[in-house]
Every structure is written in C-alpha cells, then in structure tokens.
Amino acid sequence: MDRHLPPAGRWQLAARAQRMQPSALRELLKVAERPDIISFAGGLPSPYALPVERLQASVDRILRRDAIGALQYGPSEGYLPLREAIAARLTRQGAAVSPSQVLITTGSQQALDLVARVLVDPDSRVLIETPTYLGAVQALAQYEPVFEEVPTDAAGLLPERLNEASMRNARLLYTQPNFQNPTRRTLPLERRMALASLAIRHGLPVVEDDPYGELVYTGVTLPSLLSMAPGNVVHLGSFSKVIAPGLRVGYVVAPETLMIKLLQAKQASDLHTTGITQRLAHALLTDGEYDTHLEAIRLRYRAQCALMLKCLSEHMPEGVSWTRPAGGMFLWVTLPPGIDSANLFEDALSRGVAFIPGASFHAVSPKANTMRLTFTTATPSQIETGIARLAQAIETRLRKTETCLTTS
Amino acid sequence: MDRHLPPAGRWQLAARAQRMQPSALRELLKVAERPDIISFAGGLPSPYALPVERLQASVDRILRRDAIGALQYGPSEGYLPLREAIAARLTRQGAAVSPSQVLITTGSQQALDLVARVLVDPDSRVLIETPTYLGAVQALAQYEPVFEEVPTDAAGLLPERLNEASMRNARLLYTQPNFQNPTRRTLPLERRMALASLAIRHGLPVVEDDPYGELVYTGVTLPSLLSMAPGNVVHLGSFSKVIAPGLRVGYVVAPETLMIKLLQAKQASDLHTTGITQRLAHALLTDGEYDTHLEAIRLRYRAQCALMLKCLSEHMPEGVSWTRPAGGMFLWVTLPPGIDSANLFEDALSRGVAFIPGASFHAVSPKANTMRLTFTTATPSQIETGIARLAQAIETRLRKTETCLTTS
C-alpha cells in the first residue's frame, strides 16, 4: 500500500467547523414528530393557521401575471414591492423605515447569519439573554464570539445592570423583546427606552429579533427598539409564524451603512430569496385581508394558550410553576429544583408526550429544571390529553425523588 | 453635546465585512437590464425556456395534496423525495450516490457558502482556475482564504502541472469541469482522471461545481469527478439553468463525514430551503417529461449558440477570437491585446449592447482584453443586431487605438 495515500475524506476542517456540535435538540425534535406522540416540542404554527387557500389563489395569479419575474434571477435586496410593504407596515407601527433599509432574507434565520457575519469576529463579545432562542446561538456561534450573559429577571433584561465596558466592547446585543422564545417574556416599555438610550450612548448595536410581535393576545403591542434607536438597531422580522414557515421569507431592517455590507453578504450566501415565495408574502401582506388573517390566528392561539393554562392548573403537582403568556407560541415551565427536565423527557415520551428541556435554550449557565411547551401546534384535545400525561410523568418523578431523599 | 456620544451607526464591523467590496459587476448588470439594451451580460436562462405551465400545474397539485408539508418547517437536509431523485439521477449518470449524501441548498450559491464555511479558515489556501465563476470567488472570499491560481490552458486546468505542496496544503480546489463559466471550457477525460488520482493521492478536496452539465449541445457528457473520486469530491448541482433560477434550489453531494458539518452549517444559515420550490423541482424532475424538457432547452440554446457564432464570424474584425462551446450558456471572446473590454463596455452600451468585461472573472491576474457573451437570454433577432453593433464598437475602438499608435 502507498504510504503516502491518506484515507479519503480525512480533510482539514475549518476551525469553526471543528467546533460545530451535533444538535441534541434536533434529534429530540425528530422523536417528537412521531405520529404517536403529542408534541409540545417544536416551535411550529398550527397547521390550521396556514392560509392554504389564499396561497393557492395567489400563486396561481403570480404564475399567470408575473411568471418571468418570479422564476428568473431576482435582485439580492429582494422583491421591491415586498420591501415597500414591509417598510410601510413598520412605519405604521411607529418606526420610520424606508424600503432601502429592508433586505429580504431566506427566513429570519438567514438574517441572523448575515448580521453575525458582518459584525462578529472570532473572540469578539456578544451580549445575550439566557435562556434565549437556540437558532440565534447557533447562527452567532458559527462566527466564534464569546457569549456574555446579560442580567435579566422575570420581565426580561435589566438595562440598568448592563456593564458599561461590556456595552462598549460588545459587537452586538441580541434580544427578542416580544414574547421571547422560550420564556414568552416581553420587555416593559421603560426598559425598552432605557436600553435604546444606552445603545445610542455606548454605540452598541442591538439586534431586535421579532418573530412573534404580531401574535399578541392580551394588552397592547409595545413600541419596537427600532422605533426608539433607528441608528443603533438591526430589526429582524419573519413571515414564518404569521403566514407559513415553509416559505422561508424573513427580513432585516438596518441603517443604510450596515445594509451595504449585509447585502454583499446576502449575495455571497444565496444570491437572493426565492422569487415565488417573496411574491406570495407580498400578496398576502397587501390583499387587504392580512389583518383579518392575523386576528383569526390570534383568536386560535389565544384559546389554545388559555386551554393549556387551564389544564396546567388542573393537573400539575405543587411546586411546578409556569408563565402566563400575553402572546407568542410558548409557555415556560419551572419544575421543582431536584427535577432534571432532560430525564423527564424520557418519561414523558414513554407516555406519548414531548416538550423541550429548558437547558437547550441556554447559551450560558443552563437550568435543568425548566422546560418549554408550545401551545400553538397541538389540537385542543391533544392539549388536554398531553398536559394530563405530562403532569403524571412529573408526579411520578417527584415521588421517585422524594423516595430517594427519604431513603438516602 | 455629550462628548461620550458616538455617532449612531459607527459600528465595528467584522474583519471579513471590512474587506467586502461593492461589486462593480453588479452595477454593470443593473445597467444591462435596461429595456433599451440588448444584453449578453447576465448568465440568465432564456425566458422562453422556463417551464411556466408545468410549474403552474405542479404548484397547484402540491398545494392541493401536500400543503402542510410544503408550508411547515421542513428538514434541514431537504425534501427526501427530491434528495432521492437527485441521487438516482447522478447514479444513472455514473456516480454511486446515496440520498444521505445529498443536501438541498438555497441555490448552488448557498452550497458554495456552506462548503467554504466548513473548509476554509482565514489565510488557508484555495486552488482556483482563472478566469472562474465570480460567485464562487465571492462566496469563498467571505472566509478569507489566499487564492492560488492553478495552471490552465485552452482546455482547462493542467493536472500534471499542479504543485504537490500546494495540493497537500490547500483546503480545496474549485473547478467547473463542464462548460465553465466564463470560458465554456470542458475538462478532457484524461485530465479528469489525472485530477481525480491526484486528489486521492494528496487528500485534496475537489469542489466540482456543475451547473451547466445538462446543457450539452455537441458530443457526449464526460464522467464527473465525483464518479472518479467519490471520497474526495464535493459535487455541486443546481436547477437554476434547467428549471428556473428563481426557485433557488441547488444541492451538494459530499462524503458523509463532511455532510454532517455541511448540515450543521445549513441549519445555522437558513434552517432549510423553501418547501414549495423543493417540491416543484422534485415534480419536474420525476414527472417523466424532464428529459424531453431538457432536450427542448438544448435545442433552443444550440441554435442560439450557432447563430451567435455565425454573427461573430460575419461581423467581427480581424484579431478577435472566440470559443466554440459544446454546451453551457457562454462564449468567451478575446480581443486584440491593446483593447480593454472595460472601456469597450461604455462604447457598446452607447450602441445599446451589453456584455461582461473578462477582468471581472479573475480571482487573480485579470486579463483586460477578454469578455463573456451569454447566448441564452437574447432572442435570435437581438443576437443578430447585438453582435453587429458590438462588432462596430470594437472596430471603432481598434481604429482609435491604431490612430493613437500611428500618431504617438
């Protein structure tokens, strides 16, 4: 055998690739998708909330009237009428946004990737809440920053406790101010104002990720950070939760100086987002029924959330607590300190229920006794059955823990 | 004024973003898209080659039968039936590919991005032909490699002149073996075999980018590098040139060890490719009419290519030479040494014709007296008028150059 012949496929990987870890959460979500499982795991919209008929009618119209536009190469910035419609909607909601500040992305996951690519060097500092959206951690981690946890309480991040040096040195602060994934926390108005002021004062870029802002069930929608500090905020939005995730249409709003770089990164990444789905998002956003559609989704999710809360009250043993969402898709459950939700996952699965263990959402200092429950995907009867079974699994494990404590 | 208040938007960019350059080519392509211009510039398929009616029928069927599948979140690997169909087609073409080796990407541009992300560190060495596909250079450049030009002649790269140390140290060699963009060169069989052997011997990953392989007009399709060195080749394919670019559906075939990392990079990049367009690509690939559709495209492009060659022979002044493509979308034109095609671009534009100056395609050592002409996009009558006008522009510039030489 030729001694100089290296085994095929033993290639030298980039440092970032060597650090990439297989996602345990991904494997767990695969299990949760088994048809015999009631899943509160994935962050999916309800299949009944997808506007299938309106999409059918729109795609037919698009391919009759604008087939070449939809099927040829398109501009990297995105479909101009969609950028205009997004800018107009955000402007009506209180932020003065021009279409030239809107870049259409392949889902808001790509917006995270592009923002990280343009702002993050290896070992640069990124301020982040914990727990937080796992996809953001994954996107940012590809660019090898050092994550620094920002101080939070039950209502979200605490601007007055942000460290000045951290703010000056950080490349960005990442936050979901509305119905945060996974905790459903919403940042109060006065904290938004304080954060916006600090961002301006210290030149801190704030990445405001807002996939759930339109899913508000009680109370009012608070002004965006973008509206308060337009020169310092990169605002991310998505049609995944309000139209359909499979479209892969999201967007990023950024000051024009940054937009130039985001656009170059976008071109290198995938040239442009799919022509058909950009036009579908535009059609639904502008056909005059969008707000009616949103109201129908809100009504559905509000009811499902209320039902899950009711079931939790009825079935959960003492010592278990949970958040009461004013919007979004998730409940955040805290178990008694001795219970590791990763172990509980196996018990629940054997009873036909799935959720996501809370430790998955922590970029730093994971908390094992927490879990995320999605209330949007399951049907009402699945919610009733699933929560009852989950409560049984928790009770059984609590008894085991008590027995261990007693016998030890 | 607060001395501590930095101007909004003066953020610290990542080093890679500081190095990103605005694309002159992009600006040039915008000009070329003016309706009064006959454009041989963009690498676009003919609007008449887009299978609009079949796509209309398919999308209607998809949204009637599999709406939830198409509209919900999907697997990051891609739609399994599409991965299976791609693996089957590549296997029929001589490479033994399993569906688990196929990752669906948002156009093959994203495949380039993911491959670069997984294999390229700052300052690592990348072997590349010159001239080459500009989008590949852009994607790779984001990961800050040092480009090293591989020796080539009129038939493509010269394996016997590849430097051994370079091959051992390089993170990858990038090549388009079929109807290369921009030169339309096709790597001869014996060179493919030599390159495959060297890749295996030196553990060199070869990125075989093959967007044009199906667009063959004369002669046979040569075996892929993938079929010769499956453990060392990352094979990139696309439906942009054979179905529609606006779908943004491409794929990467890689050994399974590398696939794991590509998949993690894909998840972080955009979670998954659009559900609707993946199903559209699958529908067209498997409805039994795909080869008929391809044959119709080949017929159209073969005729357009022949027409452009005829017009070039009729109109071009002495000293201008061009390639005679056996496939693909482009002709590569070499002008007399004194002529800079970037200057010629302005003259041609004033006569209502656009092309791409050849210097744009060189990662290293640009050659100013070259240009790329696309023969697929324009209509036959536009080709006739456009080439005549372009020849006039070249003649005028040649006379100017001669006058300068005589009077100087």
Contact B196, B230 (CB under 8 A): no
Of all residues in chain B, the one with the smallest CA distance to A139 is B268
- What the block records as the tokens of A347 is 């018990």
Helix (H) or strand (E) holding A64: helix A52-65
Distance (Å) from the C-alpha of residue B226 to the closest C-alpha of chain A?
13
Q: 3-state DSSP call for residue B148? A: strand
Contacts of B71 in chain A (CB under 8 A): 50, 52, 55, 244-247
Contacts of B15 in chain A (CB under 8 A): 121
Mean of the per-residue pLDDT values for chain B?
93
Q: Each residue of A224-258: pLDDT tens digit?
A: 999 999 999 999 999 999 999 999 999 999 998 89
Mean pLDDT of B30-38: 87
Q: Each residue of A115-150: pLDDT tens digit?
A: 999 999 999 999 999 899 999 999 999 999 999 999
Which residues is A174 bridged to in the sheet?
A: A128, A207
- What the block records as the tokens of B129 is 């032909």
Q: 3-state DSSP call for residue A14? A: coil
Q: Which of A115, A119, A149, A146 is nearest to A132 (CA)?
A: A149
Q: Which amino acid is at A223?
A: P
Mean pLDDT of B6-32: 77
Predicted local distance difference test score (pLDDT) of residue B342: 92
Q: In percent, how much of chain B has pLDDT > 90?
A: 85
Predicted local distance difference test score (pLDDT) of residue B34: 87
Q: Do A8 and B120 touch (CB under 8 A)?
A: no
Q: In percent, how much of chain B has pLDDT > 70?
A: 96
ipTM of the complex: 0.94
Neighbours of A337 (CB within 10 A): 11
Q: Do B270 and A113 touch (CB under 8 A)?
A: yes
Q: Do B276 and A277 touch (CB under 8 A)?
A: yes
Q: 3-state DSSP call for residue A144? A: coil
Phi, psi of B73 (to 5 degrees): -60, 145
Predicted local distance difference test score (pLDDT) of residue A5: 37
Return the number of CB contacts < 8 Å for A and B. Answer: 279
Mean pLDDT of A82-91: 98
* Residue A1 pLDDT class (50, 70, 90 cuts): very low
Torsion of CA A186, A187, A188, A189, to 10 degrees: -120
Q: What is the DSSP string of A151-210?
A: PEETTEE-GGGS-HHHHHH-SEEEE--SS-TTT-----HHHHHHHHHHHHHHT--EEEE-
Q: In percent, how much of chain A has pLDDT > 90?
A: 85
- What the block records as the tokens of A272 is 């442009």
Residue B220 touches partner A, C-beta closer than 8 Å: no
Distance (Å) from the C-alpha of residue B319 to the closest C-alpha of chain A?
34
* Residue B321 pLDDT class (50, 70, 90 cuts): very high
Distance (Å) from the C-alpha of residue B34 to the closest C-alpha of chain A?
14
Domains along chain A? 15-43+292-402 (3.90.1150.10), 52-287 (3.40.640.10)
Q: Each residue of A60-77: pLDDT tens digit?
A: 999 999 999 999 999 999
Q: Each residue of B45-62: pLDDT tens digit?
A: 999 999 999 999 999 999
Phi, psi of A90 (to 5 degrees): -65, -35
Q: 3-state DSSP call for residue B61? A: helix
